[in-house]
Amino acid sequence: MSALLSPIKDIHSERRLFIARVVLSIVVSLLLMGTVVARLVQLQVVDHELFAEKSQGNRVRIEPVPPIRGLVFDRKGRVIAQNIPAYQLELIPEQVSDIDDTLNRLAAINLIEFEEIERFKELSRSGPRFKPVTLKFRLSDEEIANFAIQRPRFPGVDFRPRLVRHYPSGTSVAHAVGYVGALSTNDLQRLDSAAYAGTSHTGKTGVESSYESDLHGDAGYRHLVANARGRRVPSGTSELLDTLPDDLTPAPGENVYLSIDLDLQMIATKALEGRRGALVAIDPWTGEILALVSAPSFDPNLFAAGMSTQQYRELRDNPDRPLFNRAVRGTYPPGSTIKPMLALAALETGATNLTRKTLCRGYFQLPGDDHRYRDWKPEGHGPVDLHDAIAQSCDVYFYEISRDVGIDAMHDYLDRFGLGTKTGIDLDSESSGLVPSKEWKRSAFRDRDDQRWYHGETVIASIGQGYMLASPLQLASAAAALATRGQRYRPHIVAAIENALTNESRIIAPERLPDVEISNEFYWSTVVGAMHDVMQGPRGTARAVGTGAPYEMAGKSGTAQVVSIAQDEEYDDAELEERQRDHALFISFAPYDNPRIAVALIVENGESGSGVAAPIARSIMDAYLGFGDDAS
């Protein structure tokens, strides 16, 4: 009965539980409130300066300012590479509702190429939508007018001014000066990203590449205030701009003065017009390059302004290889142009002397071998001495003395003139050429039989054929060494570098190379005198070119065979396909007694060094010495 009378609820217990819960809630709330207050105090009082700085950093954006690229001049101060204002076409993705349609309509009015559309779409997706995407680096006046009329049809697309590289002389200087092109992934990996911040182009070839560090300059920066969406706040609308540090003005690139004579460069370009070949003219006493031409050439402005894929494909796939610098990178059999140098080697080694005569019957045979090594003159030259062999370019004479000289001595003496090794010119991608030796052949071939050096290989090497290869630049340097009677200077194309702000210049001094040491000075007179008679002697191979000139000159022609001809087979160059005909080479210098210019050139498949290459060399020397048609 007592259990039935117990209370249904324990009011006091419930009250105590409720009070405990309230107290616990108050304590927890106070702890949480204290934590929030403490955090607010830390953020707004203790760490105020830190977060204020970070906040301002989020609003302030540092934008790089690219430097103005240095100019390039010729030796007389005429502009070869400059910067000109132009307009580029830009698209802002966030302002374009349908990018596909916009790009297709721009292509339909010939402002961009259809095949470039996918690339532009990818660029528009890869960055912030408010960042402009450049569609074309340089618009012509016609394109600007065309777009200006239709601008309302293309919201989010506009053009803005910028500086672009321009080469007034175009194709004439392309291989010497080179060109600038848009930065590639490889460029970004090898270049300093900070120095190239904001820069869109870099030197790709020629002087633009090898003197990139001088021409580029130093990037600057400026402070911009951005809103919450990352867009730039116009100047004058934010007081924060007044509190920012000073901007850093970019330092312009240095100006580069070349040793090239632009007039000579133009004359050489015109002389090689319609041909494949190369020409290098050099000052024998300084190594300064006076002209450097490779033909055919290309317009470097196409790369600076941005060319279409189709335009680049046409240049790249052209069988005449206009992008290939034949003057520096091309290597060819030097032919008979090496005979003066080989003559000095023969005199020095005792393989011949000044009185020795050889009966040239039009061919030569090694003892015990019925193979005939033919002379260029089928009926032969008759009795010839060393002087006649050079002046008349008698192959048989050099075939015969080559046995006594030997390939290793031949290698050593030609090496003294710089053949078979890079000259060290201040241009990139120079080829080394090749002057063979027994050691070279042992290392170049795997098969034991192929490693052996044969007497017949020495014979054909004596007229610059076989394995022997040289660049036009190397031949010009060798011709300069003949002109100075053995004094050599490293070829260089840049004469001075000028600070664009102070106008202070540093001159590139001539760099002396080891002389060609010849024991008897009279040997020089004999060999160089024979070269004089090549052009102005009664029986010289190029007398038709040199006779009647208002100054004395020296030279040596060469013909390099392109295709092999079977034993005793007669052939006429005119019967061969054009690209199978012999190359024509020529080296020369003038004036004879006081040389001021040395020239070397090759005309691919030109057939005759004396008939085709020599007149071009003569025109270059005439122009430089003041006897050309345009001389004042």
Q: What is the pLDDT of residues 53-111, one digit of tens each?
A: 555 545 566 667 788 999 999 999 999 999 988 888 888 887 888 888 888 888 888 88
Give pLDDT, residue 9.
Answer: 65
367 vs 290: CA distance, rounded Å = 47
40 vs 384: which has the higher pLDDT: 384
Can you spell out the DSSP letters for 334-382? Answer: -GGGGHHHHHHHHHHHTS--SS--EEE-SEE--TT----EE-SSTT--E
Would you say residue 625 has pLDDT above 80?
yes
Write out pLDDT tens, residues 84-98.
888 888 888 878 888
Question: Which has more confidence, 282 or 197?
Answer: 282
Quote the pLDDT of residue 162. Answer: 80
Q: Which region among 123-127, 304-308, 367-371 has the lowest average model confidence (pLDDT)?
A: 123-127
What is the structure's pLDDT at 557?
94
Q: Which residue has the higher pLDDT, 244 or 56?
A: 244
C-alpha to C-alpha distance for 69 and 217, rounded to whole angstroms:
6
CATH of residue 204: 3.90.1310.10
CATH number of the domain where residue 464 is located = 3.40.710.10
Q: pLDDT at position 127, please?
A: 58
Residues 219 and 364 in one domain: no
617 and 510, same structural domain?
yes
Catalytic residues: 336
Within this chain, do residues 29 and 81 fall inside the same structural domain, yes or no?
no
**What's the mean pLDDT in 163-169?**
91
More confident residue, 230 or 511: 511
- Name the residue range of residue 539's domain: 263-625
Phi, psi of 410 (to 5 degrees): -60, -45
Q: Please check whether residue 52 lies inside any domain of the structure.
A: no
Question: Over the range 95-123, which residues count as b (16 or more CB within 10 Å of their CB) and which as e?
Answer: ebeebeebbebbbeeebbbeebbeebeee
Overall average pLDDT of the 495-504 stretch: 94
pLDDT the model gives residue 137: 76
Asked whether residue 241 falls in the same domain as residue 95, the answer is yes
Same domain, 74 and 24: no
**Does 56 fall in a domain?**
no
For residue 233, pLDDT beyond 80: no
Q: Are 404 and 379 in contact (CB under 8 A)?
A: no
Enter the pTM of the model: 0.83
Do residue 212 and residue 236 come from a single domain?
Answer: yes
Q: Residues 485, 467: one domain? A: yes
Is residue 346 domain-shared with residue 206, that is, in the same domain?
no
pLDDT in tens, 310-362: 888 899 999 999 999 999 999 999 999 999 999 999 999 999 999 999 999 99
Asked whether residue 252 is assigned to any structural domain, the reply reads: yes
Whether residues 244 and 300 share a domain: the answer is no
Do residues 194 and 174 share a domain? yes
> Which of 258, 277, 302 is where one domain is finished?
258
Answer yes or no: do 40 and 94 share one domain.
no
Nearest 5°: phi and psi at 221?
-155, 165
Q: How many Å apart are CA 354 and CA 536, to the nearest integer?
A: 21
170 in any annotated domain: yes
- Most confident stretch, 92-106, 128-142, 336-350, 554-568: 336-350
φ and ψ at residue 321, rounded to 5 degrees: 55, 65
The letter for the amino acid at 74 is D
One domain, residues 293 and 175: no
pLDDT class of 1 with cuts at 50, 70, 90: very low
Q: Quick check: is 632 in a domain?
A: no
Query: pLDDT at position 509, please?
Result: 95
Is residue 3 in some structural domain?
no
In a domain, 517, yes or no: yes
How many distinct structural domains can be found in the chain?
A: 3
Mean pLDDT of 151-168: 86
Listed in sequence order, the residues at least 6 apart from 383 whose beta carbon sits closer than 8 Å to its beta carbon are: 357, 358, 359, 360
Characterize 308-320 residue by residue with b for buried, 16 or more Cβ atoms within 10 angstroms of its Cβ, and e for exposed.
eeeeeeebeeeee
CB contact at 8 A, 375 and 426: no
Q: Decide if 560 contacts 376 (C-beta within 8 A).
A: no
Give the mean pLDDT of 123-140.
Answer: 71
E runs forming strands in 201-332? 201-203, 220-225, 255-258, 277-282, 289-295
What is the DSSP secondary structure assignment for residue 332, as one 8-state letter? Answer: B
Question: Which pLDDT does position 130 carry in this prediction?
Answer: 60
The answer to the question of residue 51 being in a domain is no
Mean pLDDT of the chain: 86
Among residues 235, 258, 281, the one where a domain terminates is 258
**Which domain-ending residue is among 258, 289, 322?**
258
